[in-house]
């Protein structure tokens, strides 16, 4: 039981350091730059996707005709 708890604590300690052992981005500066650009672009579109999923973007894209979408 004691060995299991020690192994469990060691496992949690190693999981917290995963970014140090396995880097998320490349070491090459040019490749890392493109990876960071792609990551930031993907995160930028999350809000638009969330609004589209919950139909918060106005006007609705389901309408067959163009509508203003605001209060007239």
pTM of the model: 0.42
So what's the pLDDT on residue 25? 84
pLDDT in the model for residue 71: 63
Q: Is the pLDDT of residue 59 over 70?
A: no
pLDDT at 12 over 90: no
Tokens of 63: 């309408």
Q: What integer best gives the mean pLDDT of the chain?
A: 77
Total H helices, total E strands in the chain: 4, 0
Longest CA–CA span in the chain (Å) reads 71
């Amino acid at each position: 039981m004691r060995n299991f708890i020690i192994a469990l604590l060691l496992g949690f300690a190693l999981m917290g350091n995963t970014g140090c052992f396995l880097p998320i981005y490349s070491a090459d500066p040019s490749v890392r730059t493109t990876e960071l650009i792609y990551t930031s672009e993907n995160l930028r579109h999350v809000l638009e996707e969330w609004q589209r999923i919950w139909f918060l973007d106005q006007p609705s894209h389901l309408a067959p005709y163009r509508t203003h979408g605001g209060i007239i």
